[in-house]
């Protein structure tokens, strides 16, 4: 008797108090708070700007006169507004590229804007861009090239002190910094204070990365650090902006370092010891720096869309480079391409055709509301559908109530519980039966399945393989405007 009434009480309590159903345990490595913030950005930009802009080079030798840096009409607001209009959530400026010229008046070198004619030597590009970012609601980050072809001490221990002093300057004087971008390039030869010789360093030891990274953690605890090897996000292994398929957010970080092997970076490693998701960096033009001869070679809206679907749409973040020209502004051709790219994305994602759909899942964790399928339609990352621990291949049906046409499906996993889903398929209801129209592997922060249009009343998502019961926070259906341009042939992988 007692047993029965106790059981009855438990059942009632469970229904009224869904928190009694415990959430799934995390699977594998999981993102940190700073990484979660970064995942939410999805799309931001690079600004490659320095003496190269005026010498028409991609890599300065380090002997450039400060006098060559002289933008005729530098306009930080124009630059930041162009990025914002494109939908970027932040900008990363080359505060110092390989040539060693500093875009801020560093107290540790004479090789900077302070000895240029621009703003009579009183200018500070880092300051102007960081402040414009703040004004327009974008986050700001810095690229500080470890390789320095100007500095006399490069390759000696003294240079490391110089490099770290500069890092401290950038992280102390310019407000909040969302990322520090550590490049892995080292081509050997350079000016090096007049020595004009080849200087090779051992990438595994010279920069003492462990201690260099501590400076960032100390001064800017929420900043994410980029390099080939993380620690917070990794290079995707190519400069075309294309993530692997699959693209896992996990990697085995041991024995990796900036400039080290690119094996495994494109697709990540599964199951992987560390959460180090991919960043896809690519320039809107062939080069990273502005060259007038490339004014006609700006990527088209169709090419930018392909890149977006193959980067953001595979769970990575996209870092698209916009090189300011000799005026110190983003060229009109780049702006025109970005504008059309953004217009199409906005038109695509303005309406979620899955909104209002009736959802039925083959299993819901503990039968609890907290883990119910409707969490998939609220556009909130922190609510999700999950299943009982032993159910790793559930199905979900979306009843749209009427024939609906779409060609993009958006999925997101609930990242704090790790990357769990390994394979899925999508079916449409057609002539009284289910017909598969797409399949995929990794999801992570986001998977955008983009294909030809499907018209159906019902869609079924099948999780075919998962390392642990799935935790999915979003499913959405979208239609690209019929006028969307396509690249012919589709850009190669």
Q: What is the contact surface with Ca ion in residues (CB under 5 A)?
A: 375, 378, 380, 383, 473
Residues 235, 228 contacting (CB under 8 angstroms):
yes
Taking the complex as a whole, the smallest distance from the CB of residue 309 to ligand FUL amounts, in Å, to 21
Name the residue nearer to ligand FUL (CB basis): 191 or 288.
288
The entry of ligand FUL, Ca ion, none near residue 473 (CB within 5 to 8 angstroms by kind) is Ca ion
Pick from 24, 32, 6, 52: which is nearest to 421 by CA? Answer: 24
What secondary structure letter does DSSP report for 382? T
First vs last C-alpha separation in the chain:
68
User: Nearest 5°: phi and psi at 94?
Assistant: -75, 85
Distance of CA 221 to the CA centre of its chain: 19
What does DSSP say about strands 433-440 and 421-430: parallel, antiparallel, or unpaired?
antiparallel
The entry of ligand FUL, Ca ion, none near residue 288 (CB within 5 to 8 angstroms by kind) is ligand FUL
Name the residue nearer to Ca ion (CB basis): 404 or 473.
473
Taking the complex as a whole, the smallest distance from the CB of residue 285 to ligand FUL amounts, in Å, to 12
Among 64, 99, 128, 183, binds ligand FUL (CB under 6 A): 183
Name the residue nearer to ligand FUL (CB basis): 288 or 424.
288
Q: Assess 185 for contact with ligand FUL (CB under 6 A).
A: yes
Among 281, 317, 334, 427, binds ligand FUL (CB under 6 A): 281
Tell me the chain's radius of gyration from C-alpha atoms.
25
Q: Write the DSSP assignment of 331-355 as a string of letters.
A: -HHHHHHHHHHHHHHHHHHT--TTT
The entry of ligand FUL, Ca ion, none near residue 336 (CB within 5 to 8 angstroms by kind) is none
Q: Assess 228 for contact with ligand FUL (CB under 6 A).
A: no
Integer Cα distance of 454 and 92 in angstroms: 39
What does DSSP say about strands 421-430 and 447-466: parallel, antiparallel, or unpaired?
antiparallel
The entry of ligand FUL, Ca ion, none near residue 383 (CB within 5 to 8 angstroms by kind) is Ca ion
Taking the complex as a whole, the smallest distance from the CB of residue 320 to ligand FUL amounts, in Å, to 11
Pick from 374, 364, 396, 357: which is nearest to 477 by CA? Answer: 357
The entry of ligand FUL, Ca ion, none near residue 275 (CB within 5 to 8 angstroms by kind) is none
Name the residue nearer to ligand FUL (CB basis): 124 or 228.
228
Taking the complex as a whole, the smallest distance from the CB of residue 183 to ligand FUL amounts, in Å, to 5
Residues lying near ligand FUL in the complex (CB under 6 A) are found at 58, 183, 185, 281, 288
């Amino acid at each position: 008797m007692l047993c029965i009434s106790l059981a009855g009480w438990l059942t009632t309590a469970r229904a009224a108090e869904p928190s009694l159903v415990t959430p799934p345990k995390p699977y594998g490595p999981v993102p940190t708070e700073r990484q979660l913030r970064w995942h939410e950005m999805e799309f931001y930009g690079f600004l490659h700007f320095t003496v190269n802009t005026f010498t028409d080079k991609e890599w300065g030798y380090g002997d450039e006169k400060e006098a060559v840096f002289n933008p005729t009409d530098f306009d930080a607001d124009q630059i930041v507004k162009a990025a914002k209009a494109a939908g970027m959530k932040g900008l990363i400026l080359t505060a110092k590229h390989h040539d060693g010229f500093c875009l801020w008046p560093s107290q540790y070198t004479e090789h900077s804007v302070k000895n240029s004619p621009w703003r009579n030597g009183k200018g500070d590009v880092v300051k102007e861009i960081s402040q414009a970012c703040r004004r327009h609601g974008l986050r700001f980050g810095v690229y500080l090239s470890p390789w320095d072809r100007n500095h006399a001490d490069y390759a000696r221990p003294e240079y490391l002190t110089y490099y770290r002093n500069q890092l401290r300057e950038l992280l102390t004087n310019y407000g909040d910094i969302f990322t520090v971008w550590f490049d892995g390039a080292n081509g050997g030869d350079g000016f090096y204070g007049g020595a004009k010789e080849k200087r090779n360093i051992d990438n595994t030891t010279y920069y003492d990365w462990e201690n260099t990274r501590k400076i960032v953690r100390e001064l800017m605890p929420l900043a994410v650090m980029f390099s080939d090897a993380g620690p917070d996000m990794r290079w995707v292994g190519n400069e075309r902006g294309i993530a692997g398929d699959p693209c896992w957010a996990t990697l085995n970080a041991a024995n990796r370092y900036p400039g080290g092997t690119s094996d495994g970076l494109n697709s990540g490693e599964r199951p992987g010891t560390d959460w180090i998701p991919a960043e896809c960096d690519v320039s809107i033009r062939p080069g990273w720096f502005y060259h007038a001869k490339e004014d006609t070679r700006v990527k088209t809206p169709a090419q930018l869309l392909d890149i977006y679907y193959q980067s953001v749409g595979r769970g990575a973040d996209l870092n698209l480079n916009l090189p300011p020209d000799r005026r110190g502004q983003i060229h009109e051709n780049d702006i025109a391409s970005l504008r059309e790219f953004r217009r199409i994305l906005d038109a695509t994602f303005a309406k979620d055709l899955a909104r209002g759909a009736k959802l039925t899942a083959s299993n819901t964790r503990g039968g609890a509301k907290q883990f119910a399928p409707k969490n998939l339609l609220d556009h909130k990352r922190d609510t999700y559908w999950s299943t009982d621990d032993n159910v790793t291949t559930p199905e979900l049906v979306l009843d749209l109530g009427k024939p609906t046409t779409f060609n993009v499906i958006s999925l997101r996993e609930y990242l704090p519980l790790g990357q769990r889903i390994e394979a899925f398929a999508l079916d449409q209801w057609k002539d009284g039966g289910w017909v598969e129209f797409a399949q995929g592997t990794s999801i992570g922060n986001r998977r955008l399945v983009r294909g030809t249009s499907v018209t159906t009343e019902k869609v079924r998502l099948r999780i075919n393989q998962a390392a642990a019961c799935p935790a999915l926070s979003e499913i959405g259906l979208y239609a690209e405007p019929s006028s969307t341009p396509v690249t012919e042939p589709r850009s190669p992988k």
